[in-house]
Amino acid sequence: MSNNNGYFSTTIPPSTAKATTPGAHDADVPVAQPTSLKRVVSGAALKELLASGSSSQTKTPSKVDNMFQNYSHSEIARDTATIKNSVIMHLTATFLRTPTSMDSGHAYLASAFSVRDRLLQRWNLTNEFHDRMKAKRVYYMSLEFLIGRTFDNALLALDLRKEYGQTLGEVGFRLEDIIDEERDAALGNGGLGRLAACYVDSMACSDYPGWGYGLRYKYGMFQQQILNGYQVEVPDCWLDSPNPWEFPRPDVTYPVKFYGHLVRDPNNDDRYIWESNVVYDAMAFDVPVPGYGTTNVGNIRLWSCKTNSLFDLNKFNSGDYGGATGGQVAAQILTDVLYPNDNTNDGKELRLRQEYLFCSATMQDIIARFKKTGRPMSELPELAAIQLNDTHPTLGVPELMRILLDEEEMSWDDAWEVTTRTFAFTNHTILPEAMEKWPVPMLDKILPRHMGIIYKINLYFLQAVEKRFPGDRDLLRRISIIEESNPQQVRMAFLACVGSHKVNGVAAIHSDIIKQTIFKDFVRIQGEDKFINKTNGVSPRRWMNECNPDMSDLITDVVGDRSWVNDLAKVKKLEERVADEDFRRRWWDAKQKNKQRLAEYILTTTGIQVNPNALFDVQVKRIHEYKRQLMNILSVIYRYHCLKQMTPEVRAKELHRVVIFAGKAASGYWVAKQVIKLINAVAEVVNADEEIGDVLKVVFIPDYSVTAAEYIIPASDISQHISTAGTEASGTSNMKFVLNGGIILGTVDGANIEIGEEIGEEQIFFFGCLAHEVEDFRHYLRFNQPKPDDALQTAFDMIQRNTFGDGAIFQPLIDSVVRGGDVYLLSVDFPSYIQAHNAVEDAYRNREEWITKSILSVARMSKFSSDRSIQEYAEEVWNIEPVRVTSCSMGI
């Protein structure tokens, strides 16, 4: 089979696969061996390289060489006439419309496909170059990628926004309206997925050869609707319309087995033959990730089940229509929904099979690409670095072992060395209940070979530990990958830890806590050097340049050009303008424009009219008890009570405030859903109270997404990051808000601490207990039920007096604080939380002080660029260097 100019690895269909390596017929293509990957190849040198191969070899150019040599490297012209012709061509030839019948939806699709043509050209050339340079790649495995919308991001990366705006304007459309036609890709849910998207963006922009790997969800997690104040989940049918930003790869398909039994190889004790009658094909869909300021383009490869071969025509013809399609349905549901509800045994099994499909297809693809180099399998870590983004991809460890043992016939010791040198693991949680575990009977039934490998990994690990610490059986119990419970459980975080050469947390405090708690024994056994910190970051392209154009233009004026987008340290120059009256006025005006834009968005999405001159107080993130949206809404109730006690004259002098919530609760998370109901119940009462008017408004924006965040984040005055100290690993929304000139109200937790260190604690409003105090408070509250302070009790009383509807509905929320041990310490932190709110209002009333805080905050935030994070990973974890192809070197 063709392998597409050596770019995409290709699998042989299962019926003919045998021992043939996908793409192996290209292994003898002449390839230059670079003395250093960190270089830019000149145009003349590259053309010679691609045409003739390594200077140390003389070979007859292959057909692939000739094809590539004749390939045009000239970029498509950038003038508006060419753009218009391209858009019309796609309109007529791709979508069978005429210019006279074009609506905004088709204008978007035609324009997007036109942009895609340009992106695809760079994409192919980038990957062809990386293949031929045999560059080491990083493979970032994440169960979710919250990439948001692509069209505007691609226009900015290609520096074509002005040209496309002009072209569309000539045919009667506003570019902003066309951008709004795109739906968010439903491939992620929260911070984990958004971090993965930022990291792939940074790899592309920083010229690191790297791909993301994930799953292509047909319906996402869910679309959140609010009915009678409650969250209702409905399918997010984001793929109903054509998706210009993905490329189906039917030629890149791998078989994935489930269930069955094992047959030992009589000639090799380490090798088994896995015989299974349940085999699904995982098919690749590629999503290009444009680099800003570079011609390099990254990639996210997503897997979906290919179901055509599972249709049983004989059953169909016999009238058994359900049986004929049963295999198709069983396969398809694996990639239908992100995080299927696992409150049932069937849900757990579905989730496990979903994760394995992802891991198996990814490992097979990485191995197939590596084999094209012709190098021995023992050298895999020299060309591949695999990063596990949390525990969801951990099955990749036993899957790689399976491939090396059973298919490559390596010895156990050699396979284990390759595996541990290849994998690295990012831990994203502190909460023990969030640690992923799988029941041993379930894993043994679905993945019998992997359960055997995990047993053996655990056995050898415990044996090695016992030699060093003889007689310490409690230590062995604590560190065992297999938890001795009923039933036994596989601790995936421990498996990822044992199977990786580096383990990192995502903020300084988080990394310290996991070394002192969940991985304390592993640090003692495996050494301090293995456990490191890599503070998260966010992409300045998406979270400044794209979502906040007016502020970005101001920064560009100060820096002198837009190079700061890829070098955030340059925003430090803003400090030089902090006393410039004209600059300060323009800064304030940019913020007010963003607030007006958000006010219009709120009106459109919720029907609630808010005053853009009010203080915008925002908490947007996944709804969870430890993130304490409950504490926020209880403070709103108390504020409402205080306002109601005032005379109209006094109330009129109060600072106006709009409190904005957004976020999804997991479908099986009842408590979080009750919090959403309470927020909406309070909003309904407060917003209808004519006495209160604009002094206080409460808004819950449904179906929080990247696009919604792009409206909300630039408009915030204050953003709340109020997790119980020691429970938030890092957070990244806090970084986004501050990068857009917002001020944080938060606990001393996660990345809040490092943000405060960078921007100065006078630019942030801290409150609440500290992480080292939490366990003492929890211990006290387990055995005592202190009366809440007056403010918190007032909020409880208003709920119980049915001020916001039937108070009995919300009694369990109150009980969790006053009778349930108050695990997340709402009652402990509430008094200082109210004081912090008062301090915020005092500061906001002083406009000049607030502007100073805002400017200085942005100026000092360069540490929190995802480019910095990726550079640290590249140097300290992955051992890779940038490999850049410039426009000149490709003849563009």
Residue 316: inside a domain, yes or no? yes
One-character DSSP codes across 373-411: TT--GGGHHHHEEEEEESSTTTTHHHHHHHIIIIIS---
How big is the chain by its Cα radius of gyration, in Å? 28
pLDDT at 48 over 60: no
Q: In the predicted model, what is the mean pLDDT of residues 713-729?
A: 97
Residue-averaged pLDDT of the chain: 90
The token pair at 498 is 């044992």
Reported confidence tier of residue 434, pLDDT bands at 50, 70, 90: confident
pLDDT tens profile 287-340: 999 999 999 999 999 999 987 777 777 877 888 777 777 888 888 899 999 999
Q: 467 an active-site residue?
A: no
Give the whole-angstrom CA distance, residue 700 versus residue 683: 8
Per DSSP, the three-state class of 659 is strand
Identified catalytic residue from 732, 803, 863, 884: 732
Q: Which of 216, 502, 584, 621 is catalytic?
A: 621
What pLDDT shows up at residue 528?
95
Sign of the Cα pseudo-torsion (846, 743, 709, 292, in order): positive
Quick one: pLDDT at residue 503? 98
Q: Does residue 502 have an active-site annotation?
A: no
Examine residue 580 and state whether it is found in any structural domain, yes or no: no
Give a yes or no: residue 235 inside a domain: yes
**Does a cis peptide bond (omega within 30 degrees of 0) precede residue 398?**
no
Count of residues making up the chain: 892
In a domain, 155, yes or no: no
Residue 621 known to be catalytic: yes
Contact present, 499 and 837 (Cβ < 8 Å): no
- The residue with tokens 């069955």 is 260
In angstroms, the CA 75 to CA 84 distance is: 16
pLDDT at position 74, please? 66
In the residue annotation, 520 being an active-site residue is answered as: no
Say whether both 527 and 621 belong to one domain: no
Q: How many CB atoms lie within 10 A of CB 529?
A: 8
Same domain, 651 and 505: no
Distance CA 173, CA 200 (A): 32
Segments of 259-365 assigned E as strands: 261-264, 272-275, 278-290, 297-306
State which of 497, 514, 533 marks the end of a domain: 533
| HSE-up of residue 705 (Cα within 13 Å, Cβ side) | 22
Which percentage of the chain shows pLDDT scores above 70? 91
pLDDT at 885: 82
pLDDT for res 886 = 64
Q: Which of 75-79, 767-771, 814-818 has the lowest mean pLDDT?
A: 75-79
pLDDT tens digit string along 614-624?
A: 999 999 999 99
Per-residue pLDDT of 61-109, as tens digits, reads 444 444 444 444 567 888 889 999 999 999 999 998 888 888 999 999 9
Both 284 and 387 in one domain: the answer is yes
Question: Is 724 annotated as catalytic?
Answer: no
Give the strand pairing for 230-234 and 764-767.
unpaired
| CATH number for 647 | 3.40.50.2000
User: 533, 567, 582 — which closes off a domain?
Assistant: 533
pLDDT of residue 55: 34
pLDDT at 321: 75
Q: Which residues of 405-431 are buried (b: 16+ CB within 10 A; e: fewer)?
A: bbebebebeebbebbbbbbbbbbbbbe
Co-location of 629 and 520 in the same domain: no
Q: Is residue 48 part of a domain?
A: yes
Report percent pLDDT > 90 for the chain. 83
For the question of residue 162 being annotated catalytic, the response is no
Whether residue 253 contacts residue 282, with contact meaning beta carbons closer than 8 Å, is answered with yes
Mean pLDDT of 840-864: 98
Same-domain pairing of 406 and 514 = yes
Per annotation, catalytic residue among 595, 736, 863, 884: 736
Active-site hit among 306, 402, 595, 627: 627
Confidence band for 342, pLDDT divided at 50, 70 and 90 = confident
The span from the CA of 663 to the CA of 708, in Å, is: 10
Q: Which of 435, 345, 337, 455 is nearest to 390 (CA)?
A: 435
Q: Reduce the secondary structure of 5-36 to three states and give it as a string.
A: CCCCCCCCCHHHCCCCCCCHHHCCCCCCCCCC
Beta-sheet pairing, 223-227 with 384-389 = unpaired
Rounded-to-integer distance, Cα 740 and Cα 711, Å: 11
User: How high is the pLDDT of residue 430?
Assistant: 87
With 0-12 / 13-18 / 19 or more C-beta atoms within 10 angstroms meaning exposed / middle / buried, residue 860 is buried
Candidates 116, 149, 577, 622; catalytic one: 622
Q: What are phi and psi of 32, to 5 degrees?
A: -70, 140
The tens digit of pLDDT for each residue in 196-223 reads 999 999 999 999 999 999 999 999 999 9
Locate 489 and state its tokens. Answer: 């459980």
Amino acid at 546: E
- Classify residue 520: in a domain, yes or no: yes
Give pLDDT, residue 15: 34
For residue 889, is pLDDT > 80?
A: no
Q: Do 620 and 521 share a structural domain?
A: no
For residues 756 and 674, membership in a common domain is answered with: yes
From 369, 371, 428, 502, active-site residue: 428
| Host H or E run for residue 491 | strand 489-491
Q: Rounded to an integer, what distance in angstroms lies between the CA atom of residue 700 and that of residue 29?
A: 58
Assess whether pLDDT exceeds 50 at residue 14.
no
Predicted structure pTM score: 0.91
Question: Would residue 232 count as lying in a domain?
Answer: yes
pLDDT-derived band at 50 (thresholds 50, 70, 90) equals very low
Q: Which of 63-67, 303-307, 516-520, 771-775 has the least mean pLDDT?
A: 63-67
In terms of pLDDT, which residue wins out, 509 or 6? 509
> What's residue 71's pLDDT?
47
Query: What secondary structure letter does DSSP report for 691?
Result: T
pLDDT reading at 38 higher than 90: no
Mean pLDDT of 594-609: 98
With H, G, I as helix, E, B as strand and everything else as coil, classify residue 299. strand
Dmax over CA atoms of the chain, in Å, equals: 92
- Domain tally, the chain: 2
Q: Of 533, 559, 594, which one is at a domain's C-terminal end? A: 533
693 and 817 share one domain: yes
Tens digits of residue pLDDT in 650-703: 999 999 999 999 999 999 999 999 999 999 999 999 999 999 999 999 999 999
- Looking at residue 12, what is its pLDDT? 30
Q: pLDDT grade, residue 432 (50/70/90)?
A: confident
Do 276 and 421 reside in the same domain of the chain?
A: yes
Q: Which domain holds residue 816?
A: 607-849
pLDDT at position 73, please? 56
Task: Let me know whether 358 and 463 are in one domain.
Answer: yes
- Residue 552 to residue 541: CA distance in whole angstroms: 10
Phi, psi values for residue 767, rounded to 5°: -155, 170
Residue 124 forms part of a structural domain: no
Same domain, 524 and 640: no
Is residue 275 predicted with pLDDT exceeding 70? yes
In the prediction, which pLDDT does 68 show?
Answer: 45
Phi and psi based region of residue 5 (left: phi greater than 0; alpha: psi -120 to 50; beta: remaining):
left
Write out 417-438 in H/E/C secondary structure.
HHHHHHEEEECCCCCHHHCCEE
Q: Are 120 and 290 in contact (CB under 8 A)?
A: no
pLDDT at 43 over 50: no
Q: What is the DSSP string of 218-258?
A: SS-S-EEEEETTEEEEE---TTSS--TT-EEEEEEEEEEEE
Does residue 540 carry a pLDDT above 70? yes
d(CA 339, CA 533): 27
Sign of CA dihedral 13, 14, 16, 18: positive
Which pLDDT score is estimated for 887?
52
> Could you tell me if 734 and 628 lie in one domain?
yes
Which of the pair, 301 or 432, is modelled with greater confidence? 301
Residue 59 has pLDDT above 70, yes or no: no
